[in-house]
Copies of this chain bind each other. A is one copy, B any other.
Amino acid sequence: MADEQVLMVSTIEALVEGKKYSTLRDVLVTMQPADIAELFEEIDNSKLPLLFRLLPKEQAADTFVEMDSDQQELLIRGFSDAELKEVVDELYVDDAADIVEEMPANVVRRILQQADPDKRKMINEVLNYPEDSAGSIMTTEYVTLRPQMTMEDAIKHIRRTGIDKETIYTCYVTNNNRVLIGYLSLKTIIMSEDDAEVSAIMGTDIISVTTTDDQEEVAATLSTYDLLAVPVVDKENRLVGIVTVDDAIDVMEEEATEDIEKMAAITPTDKPYLKTSVFDLWKARIPWLLLLMVSATFTGMIITSFEDALSVLPVLTAFIPMLMDTGGNTGSQASVTVIRALSLGDLEFKDILQVMWKESRVAVLCGVVLAAANFLKIRLVDVMLMGNSSITVAVTFAVCITLALTVLCAKLVGCTLPLLAKKLGFDPAVMASPFITTIVDALALLIYFRTSMTILHM
Chain A residues with CB under 8 Å of chain B are 2, 30-32, 34, 155, 158-159, 162-163, 168-169, 186-187, 190-191, 205, 207, 222-226, 228, 245-246, 248-250, 252-253, 256-257, 259-261, 263-266, 272-274, 278-279, 281-282, 285-286, 288-290, 292-294, 296-297, 299-301, 303-304, 307, 310-311, 314-315, 317-322, 324-326, 328-330, 332-333, 335-338, 340-341, 344, 346-348, 350-351, 354-355, 358, 361-362, 365-366, 369-370, 373-374, 377, 381-382, 388, 432-434, 437-438, 441, 445
CB distance from A155 to the nearest CB of B (A): 7
B274 touches A300 (CB 8 A): no
A257 touches B340 (CB 8 A): yes
B186 touches A163 (CB 8 A): no
B272 touches A329 (CB 8 A): no
CB distance from A411 to the nearest CB of B (A): 9
B207 touches A187 (CB 8 A): no
B249 touches A347 (CB 8 A): no
Residues on B with beta carbons closer than 8 Å to the beta carbon of A307: 314-315, 317-318
CB distance from A278 to the nearest CB of B (A): 4
A332 touches B260 (CB 8 A): no
Number of identical protomers: 2
A253 to B303, CA, bound (A): 43
Q: Please name 8 pairs of A and B residues whose Cβ atoms are closer than 8 Å in the assembled complex, sorted by A.
A: A226-B246, A272-B346, A274-B341, A296-B326, A310-B314, A310-B317, A311-B314, A320-B320
CB distance from A78 to the nearest CB of B (A): 27
Residues on B with beta carbons closer than 8 Å to the beta carbon of A158: 190
A330 to B289, CA, bound (A): 7
Residues on B with beta carbons closer than 8 Å to the beta carbon of A350: 2
Can you list the 7 inter-chain pairs with the closest CB atoms, starting with the nearest?
A264-B336, A299-B321, A296-B322, A273-B341, A226-B246, A272-B346, A256-B256
CB distance from A285 to the nearest CB of B (A): 5
> Which of B31, B260, B293 contacts A336, CB < 8 Å?
B260
CB distance from A390 to the nearest CB of B (A): 9
Interface centre among A162, A187, A294, A301 (most CB of B within 10 A): A187
Residues on B with beta carbons closer than 8 Å to the beta carbon of A341: 272-274
A223 touches B314 (CB 8 A): no
CB distance from A295 to the nearest CB of B (A): 8
A297 touches B32 (CB 8 A): no
A337 touches B264 (CB 8 A): yes
Residues on B with beta carbons closer than 8 Å to the beta carbon of A190: 155, 158-159, 162, 168, 186
A162 touches B186 (CB 8 A): no
CB distance from A270 to the nearest CB of B (A): 12
B321 touches A300 (CB 8 A): yes
B286 touches A365 (CB 8 A): yes
B264 touches A433 (CB 8 A): yes
Residues on B with beta carbons closer than 8 Å to the beta carbon of A370: 286, 289-290, 293
A297 touches B338 (CB 8 A): no
A180 to B286, CA, bound (A): 53
B329 touches A288 (CB 8 A): yes
B317 touches A282 (CB 8 A): no
B223 touches A274 (CB 8 A): no
B321 touches A445 (CB 8 A): yes
Residues on B with beta carbons closer than 8 Å to the beta carbon of A434: 329, 332
